[in-house]
Amino acid sequence: MDYSGDEERIKEVVAGLIERGVRRFIDGDRGNFDRLCAKVVWDLKRTSPQVTMTRAISYMPKAHEETPRFFDDSVYLLEKRVPPRYAIAETNKLIVRKADIIVSGVIFPYGGAHEAVSYAKRLGKEIIQIPHNAPPE
> Which of these, 12, 30, 31, 32, lies nearest to 20 by C-alpha position?
12
Q: pLDDT of 63-82, one tens digit each?
A: 888 889 999 999 999 988 89
Give the pLDDT score at 61.
Answer: 82
Its pTM stands at 0.89
CA distance 106 to 111: 9
> Of the ranges 53-57, 77-81, 83-87, which one carries the lowest mean pLDDT score?
77-81
Q: Which domains does the chain have, with CATH numbers?
A: 4-129 (3.40.50.450)
Q: Nearest to residue 23, comparing CAs of 4, 57, 48, 46?
A: 48
**Cα angle 9, 43, 71; round to 5:** 110
Position 60 scores a pLDDT of 86
Sign of CA dihedral 113, 110, 118, 6: positive
Q: Determine the 3-state secondary structure of 126 from DSSP.
A: strand
